[in-house]
């Protein structure tokens, strides 16, 4: 997110600010604290940023730019991967980014009520953009008979909400984080199981597998 090839003082300043915002909250973090933790003069801070809000908005803008770049439209070009593979790649990139920047993600998801209204609006715009991209992908899936007919707008909000909640819980927990591949597999399994078209025979076979063990005679009773 923040390249080491950038000004090292600015990178250190930004990293210390993110850590302070995550640990103390946006309102309780002062410029004095940030520059002290970064080991730079207060005058140096103002070479890069006009205020604490400007600093935070700059951090957020960079993060949201990277997040937008992680979510790519589904391509139907002949040489493109399958739509499902592209969805998996999108989800992998998003999770790698947000879980790789846990402090910043915690600020965004856990401290929304303490953030400036302009910051909150940027987050809401991002969620709307993500839902719009998902809706267009779902519409395409319905047209290709990959996705069952549904209210794609409502379903897109459900998917965004589910992913947000998973990320919220993971960044709240002190337990070891599952591997990204495992997270992607579980999220796709949950999401796709509810929207993909399945042949009737396949559904019936699944139902039989669930019901037959319950209907099978108990060997102990048969022997009695």
Q: How far is CA 137 from CA 16, 21, 94, 132, 188, in A?
A: 38, 35, 17, 9, 14
Three-state SS sequence of 129-140 = HHHHHHHHHHHH
CA distances from 217 to 206, 207, 210, 220, 222 (A): 20, 18, 15, 9, 7
Q: What is the mean pLDDT of residues 167-189?
A: 90
Q: pLDDT tier at 198 (50, 70, 90 boundaries)?
A: low
Largest Cα–Cα distance of the chain, in whole Å? 89
> Cα–Cα distance between 35 and 161 in angstroms, integer?
36
Torsion of CA 121, 135, 97, 77, to 10 degrees: -140
Query: How much of the chain, in percent, has pLDDT values that exceed 70?
Result: 84
pLDDT for the residue 108: 86
The per-residue pLDDT for range 77-90, each reduced to its tens digit, is: 899 998 888 889 99
51: phi then psi, degrees, rounded to nearest 5: -165, 175
The CA-based dihedral angle spanning residues 14, 164, 195, 154, taken in that order and rounded to the nearest 10 degrees: -110
Look at residue 14 in the predicted model and tell me its pLDDT. 94
Q: What is the distance between the alpha carbons of residues 157 and 142, in angstroms, rounded to a whole number? A: 17
Interval 28-56: pLDDT, tens: 999 999 999 999 999 999 999 999 999 99
Residue 147 pairs in a beta bridge with 196
Q: Which domains does the chain carry?
A: 56-198 (1.10.357.10)
CB atoms within 10 A of CB 21: 26
Q: pTM of the prediction?
A: 0.76
The three-class DSSP label of residue 79 is coil
């Amino acid at each position: 997110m923040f390249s080491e090839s950038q000004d090292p003082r600015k990178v250190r300043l930004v990293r210390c600010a993110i850590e302070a915002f995550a640990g103390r909250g946006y309102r309780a973090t002062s410029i004095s604290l940030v520059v002290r933790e970064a080991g730079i003069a207060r005058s140096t801070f103002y070479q890069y940023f006009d205020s604490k809000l400007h600093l935070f908005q700059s951090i957020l803008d960079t993060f949201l730019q990277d997040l937008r770049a992680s979510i790519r439209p589904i391509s139907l070009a002949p040489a493109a991967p399958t739509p499902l593979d592209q969805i998996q790649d999108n989800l992998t990139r998003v999770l790698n980014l947000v879980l790789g920047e846990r402090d910043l993600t915690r600020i965004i998801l856990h401290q929304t009520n303490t953030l400036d209204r302009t910051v909150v609006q940027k987050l809401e715009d991002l969620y709307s953009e993500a839902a719009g991209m998902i809706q267009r992908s779902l519409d395409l899936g319905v047209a290709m008979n990959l996705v069952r007919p549904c209210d794609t707008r409502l379903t897109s909000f459900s998917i965004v909400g589910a992913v947000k909640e998973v990320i919220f819980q993971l960044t709240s927990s002190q337990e070891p984080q599952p591997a990204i591949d495992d997270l992607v597999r579980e999220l796709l399994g949950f999401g796709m199981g509810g929207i993909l078209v399945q042949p009737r025979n396949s559904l019936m076979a699944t139902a039989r597998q669930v019901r037959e063990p319950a209907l099978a005679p108990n060997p102990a009773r048969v022997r009695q």
